[in-house]
Amino acid sequence: MASTAVDPAHGNEPGRSQRAVAKGSRPGTGQLSLVALTKRFGTFTAVDAIDVEIPSGGFFSLLGPSGCGKTTTLRMIAGFEEPTSGQVLLDGQDIVRTPPSKRPVNTVFQSYALFPHLRVFDNVAFGLRRAGVAKDEVTRRVGEALELVQLSGFARRKPSQLSGGQQQRVALARALVLKPAVLLLDEPLGALDAKLRRQLQVELKQLQAQVGITFVYVTHDQEEALTMSDRIAVINHGRIEQAASPKDLYEEPANAFVADFLGVSNLMDAAVSGPASVGARVSLSDSFTVDVTRGDVGLRGPVKIVIRPERINVEPADSQGSNRVPGLISNIVYLGSSLQLAIQLASGHAVTAMVPNTGEEAASAWAPGMLVSCHLPPGALRILASDHAGPGQADPALAGTAADLSPGNQG
Amino acid sequence: MALLGVPVVFIALFSVGLRSNIPGAPVAFSLSNWSDFLTGGGGAFRGRFVYSMEVTLAVSVLTTLAAYPLAYFLSFVARHRRYALLLLLLAPFFTSYLLRVIAWQIILNNNGVVNSLLWDLHLRAQGDAVSWLIYSTFSVALVLFYTWVPFVSLPIFVVLENMDHRLQEAAADLGASRMETFWRVTLPLSLPGVIAGFVFVLIPTTGEFITPLLVGGPNNQLFGNSIQAFFSATPDWNYGSVLAIALIVVVVVLTLVFGRFIQTDLRAEARAEQ
Amino acid sequence: MRPVGRLGSTGLTIYFWLFVVFLFAPLAVLLIFSVNSSPTPTLPLSGFSTHWFHEAFSNTVLTNALVRSVFIALVAAVIATALGIMASLGLMALRGRSLSMALTLLLLPLVVPYICLAVGLLILVEVLGSGPSLIAVVLGHCVIVLPFAILVIMPRLRSLDPAMNEAALDLGASSFAALRLITLPLLAPALVSSGIICFVTSFDEFAIASFLAPSGQPTYPVFLYASARTPALLPEVIAVGALIIAGSLLLVVLAEGGRRWAERRLVGLTASPEAAVSTAVSDQQAVPVAMLND
């Protein structure tokens, strides 16, 4: 199990110089490429010609809603599903024909799949024994693996005597002890409570940096993916919407789906009326236009625009200046560290703005029913093509009402 | 996977092969035995067939009626110990069927427990046995009833268990009395289990022959006994095969008709995955 | 409002316990008369004696028949359990329609009356030229008993987390090693249940044995039947019968206790609690069917 058929001299090593010196790592291996990978179940296409490069030694996540095909993709990498077509290249070699027991790839399952009738030690030793490793060596390596996951004293216990978090660590140790080229993790933190999950996210990230093995992580939780990953592939209906670093995905979403999947996007229907001095001039409705400098500024006609909640500047109703739209606060949610304001804009759109909680004064500054002015900075707005489905339809009925309430029409 | 599928096919073929009776085999293909049984001189066997079916039906109905209160007791009254009590109910099954029938023979016999008890209590004259107690339709039916009731209560119990007990609370909430709740809510919902239990008795009993051998008189032999006779005492394998196939046909028909009510986890799962 | 009123409760309780008495009465009768000194089982009881047990066990025909039955039952149980494992594994790969069909085919012996199976087998062995033999009995029992093995093993197999087998493969085990080291140990309670059910069913089986056992070599039930019609042998029959009944009841208690203990040890192996409950009930369903389809 510890051997691989791949010659380390081949295959590219893009991130090698950036990787931390790792304990027991395998330099130059673990680079995965999925080439036109497709899986069909009868007439249903679960994975639709996915192309993605997963650099070696990093933490890569497959992110998407339930049923999008991310788990199927993972299982094809592991060898539990046979692709309908396409290739899985590990360090340049197609492993599609190799059975899972022979691939230098190991999996941490969603249910952990610990063998209940074996002790923790025997669980972790399982793969080593199958590979014929000598007894002393087995003991040594199991000890190391347990130490790595901070479970040194637990070797004699049975899985049923462990907590969820501990079981997960045993599953990790069991997979890592075999020093695979790639480690696959299928939503391993799903069964844990929020606090434990956050703690383990940090630990997993540190662990990955420590061992330097390529981690491919499947999750539907965008916060989790953003926290842990070096790169994320957002998957929807079996296709990759965008593969990029967390920052790029959040700040520069390629389309409405990605924008909306990662955090609150405030997706709005609008139309590009023409160019502006910088960027494009976009009309949110008949009476309101804004300048937008980011995204597909070359597009004309109906588009969607996005802005992140924390970038909306909520100002008093009489505030003047460009890129400002009047609005009415319909609801305030107190989140502790911030205030979430639901605002009905005069253009007919409903947006969510995030205002940091700077103390008593800030908390009492806003109230439902209050008129405000929303400043949407041009550099915070982004134009996206209107093809993909997404929320944010302007409601003409609301547009009229909100417009009546704008300061110019009062009285 | 293929290595494991082959035995599956093999076993199925094997079992099917063993059940292929060969009517009229060696000499010439002839339907004379069939016509004899169905229309001609085989009246005695037709009569016995009808008698068998009557007994089977009666026993099945009585058994199901008796089993329902047991299941109801387990599910609604004996809430906490119900599984243990269920086991108690089923325990006699795990003992030999033959022995239990023999036990009944001892009890019902002409100088058996019941009769000798009556004599000792001077309720009857010494030596005067109750005639209908043994070697009668009564004895055959009683033993069959005895054997099957606990088993029939099982599917009824399962259905009652799976039923959402809040439905009864809802009915009560809406003003129904206990009897009404039972008739209008519990009973209808438990019907699948009742039918399953009924079928569990009906189908195997059609082929029953051991009980009549031990506690039935010459007039109480069931259809299965006729088949048996043709293969042992007065061998006529051709005619016997005719009867055997007739029985199989009846059983297959019954199974097809009632089969959809027999819900094992496996069947339900299979359907759910379709 | 409880679903059963107090009057109903009492009524049902009385009915239940009366029925239990009714159920156990014949068994009690056998137990009582096994130690009754009179050669005829009739009231009043004539005195305590254990000499029927001595008589029974010095009757070599009886003891031979017992041994023969035990042997046949053991072989049939082992073969059927093994085939049951293979069949269950094979069935795992099927879904929907093909699964329904395969299941129907495999469970067919449950529905066919044993008398028909017995005569069918008799015809078959005659045609094949070998005639009645103990091997034919074993094979016949395997056919009858295999559905029970499947009914017990398959639900348990299905309730196992499939990721367990995948994990074994993922870690480098061959399919066979995964089966041997992971699946089979986890199936152990079901295998034991299957073994017991198959053994008990085969041991008590009369229909097939009566046709297929050679005339000088009866199985125990065949011998029992013959003896039941001979008043002279009745006390010995009762004596052995009492022992068998006591033994069977003990086995029930032990098996149930053992099953519960094993389940507690293997906590975490079922995919859902509903699966665990329904396997428990279907286990209990499988055994009685075995006993009655004689």
Assign residue A123 the CATH number of its domain: 3.40.50.300
Same domain, A111 and A73: yes
- pLDDT score for C39: 74
Domain carrying residue A224: 29-251
Question: By percentage, how much of chain B surpasses pLDDT 70?
Answer: 75
Distance, CA of B134 to chain centre: 20
Same domain, A380 and A347: yes
Does the pLDDT of residue A29 top 90, yes or no? no
- pLDDT score for A10: 41
Q: How many CA atoms lie within 13 A of A401 on its CB side?
A: 12
- pLDDT score for B233: 64
Strand pairing report for A32-41 and A44-54? antiparallel
- pLDDT score for C73: 92
Q: Which regions of C199-285 does DSSP assign to beta strands (E)? A: none
- Stretch (H or E) spanning B47: helix B43-72
Domain carrying residue B262: 55-272
Question: By percentage, how much of chain B surpasses pLDDT 90?
Answer: 4
Give pLDDT tens digits for A237-271.
Answer: 999 999 999 998 888 888 888 888 888 888 888 88
Angle formed by the axes of helices B2-18 and C60-92, nearest 10°? 130
- pLDDT score for B8: 43
From C179's Cα to the closest Cα of chain A, the distance in A is: 13
Decide if B268 is inside a domain.
Answer: yes
Decide if A2 is inside a domain.
Answer: no
Q: Which residue of C has its CA nearest to A108?
A: C167
DSSP string, C254-276: HHHHHHHHHHHHTTT-BS-HHHH
Task: Let me know: does A38 contact A45? Beta carbons within 8 Å.
Answer: yes
Domain total of chain B: 1
End-to-end CA separation in angstroms for chain B: 21
**β-bridge mates for residue A107, sequence order:** A184
**β-bridge mates for residue A215, sequence order:** A59, A183
- pLDDT score for C267: 57
- pLDDT score for A407: 46
- pLDDT score for C4: 67
B7, B77, B103 member nearest C12 (Cβ): B77
Does the pLDDT of residue B134 top 50, yes or no? yes
- pLDDT score for A83: 92
B11, B98, B264 member nearest C224 (Cβ): B98
Same domain, A189 and A304: no
Closest CA to B150 of B188, B101, B94: B94
Chains C, B in contact: 3+ Cβ pairs under 8 A? Answer: yes
Report CB contact under 8 Å: C248, B96: yes
Tell me what the mean pLDDT of segment B89-105 comes to: 85
Closest CA to B248 of C276, C115, A179: C115
Q: How many CA atoms lie within 13 A of B46 on its CB side?
A: 10
Of B225 and A57, which is predicted with more confidence?
A57
Domain total of chain A: 2
Same domain, A244 and A286: no
- pLDDT score for C87: 86
- pLDDT score for C99: 81
Q: A92 vs A9, A89, A249, B88, CA distance in Å?
A: 11, 5, 28, 66
Does the pLDDT of residue B149 top 60, yes or no? yes
Tell me what the mean pLDDT of segment A403-410 comes to: 43
Q: Tell whether ipTM is more than 0.90.
A: no
Q: A298 vs A275, A308, A376, B199, CA distance in Å?
A: 8, 21, 20, 74
Q: Who's near A343: CB < 8 A, 6+ residues apart?
A: A314, A327, A328, A329, A330, A350, A351, A352, A353, A372, A374
Would you tell me how many other CB atoms lie within 10 Å of the CB of residue B86? Answer: 22
Decide if A322 is inside a domain.
Answer: yes
Decide if A12 is inside a domain.
Answer: no
Decide if A20 is inside a domain.
Answer: no
From A128's Cα to the closest Cα of chain C, the distance in A is: 8
Give the CATH number, domain containing residue B162.
1.10.3720.10
> How many inter-chain contacts (A to C, CB under 8 Å) are there?
72
Same domain, A201 and A79: yes
Does the pLDDT of residue A139 top 90, yes or no? yes
Same domain, A185 and A288: no
Report CB contact under 8 Å: C173, A101: yes
What mean pLDDT is reported for chain A?
83
CATH topology for the C59-292 domain: MetI-like fold (1.10.3720)
Report CB contact under 8 Å: B273, C86: no
Tell me what the mean pLDDT of segment B159-187 comes to: 81
Report CB contact under 8 Å: B227, C24: no
Does the pLDDT of residue A124 top 90, yes or no? yes
From A115's Cα to the closest Cα of chain C, the distance in A is: 7
Report CB contact under 8 Å: C172, A111: no
Report CB contact under 8 Å: C171, A160: no
Tell me what the mean pLDDT of segment B109-135 comes to: 78
Does the pLDDT of residue B45 top 80, yes or no? no
Does the pLDDT of residue A184 top 90, yes or no? yes
SS3 state at A59 = strand
Q: Which residue of A has its CA nearest to C171?
A: A127
**Tokens 């079922």, residue located:** C270
Report CB contact under 8 Å: C163, A109: yes
The CA dihedral of A316, A318, A322, A324, to the nearest 10 degrees, is 50
- pLDDT score for C279: 44
Does the pLDDT of residue A12 top 80, yes or no? no
Decide if A21 is inside a domain.
Answer: no
Same domain, A140 and A242: yes
Q: Which residue of C has its CA nearest to B222?
A: C115
- Stretch (H or E) spanning A240: strand A239-244
Tokens matching residue C41: 């089982």
Tokens matching residue C154: 């398959």
Give the CATH number, domain containing residue A295.
2.40.50.140
Of A324 and B246, which is predicted with more confidence?
A324
Strand pairing report for A294-295 and A382-385? parallel
SS3 state at A133 = coil
The CA dihedral of B83, B84, B88, B89, to the nearest 10 degrees, is -20
- pLDDT score for B237: 65
C229 phi, psi to nearest 5 deg: -90, -5
Confidence of residue A396 (pLDDT cuts 50, 70, 90): very low
Task: Let me know: does A258 contact A60? Beta carbons within 8 Å.
Answer: no
Q: Which of A196, A224, A251 is the last residue of a domain?
A: A251
Tell me what the mean pLDDT of segment B34-46 comes to: 63
Using 70 as the pLDDT threshold, list the residues of chain C that sit under it.
1-4, 126-129, 263, 265-294
Closest CA to C287 of C152, C169, C93: C152
Confidence of residue B267 (pLDDT cuts 50, 70, 90): very low
- pLDDT score for A389: 45
- pLDDT score for B167: 81
Does the pLDDT of residue B57 top 80, yes or no? yes
**Tokens 């089982």, residue located:** C41
Q: Which of A230, A251, A272 is the last residue of a domain?
A: A251
DSSP string, C85-120: HHHHHHHHT--HHHHHHHHHHHHHHHHS-HHHHHHH
Strand pairing report for A93-94 and A85-90? antiparallel
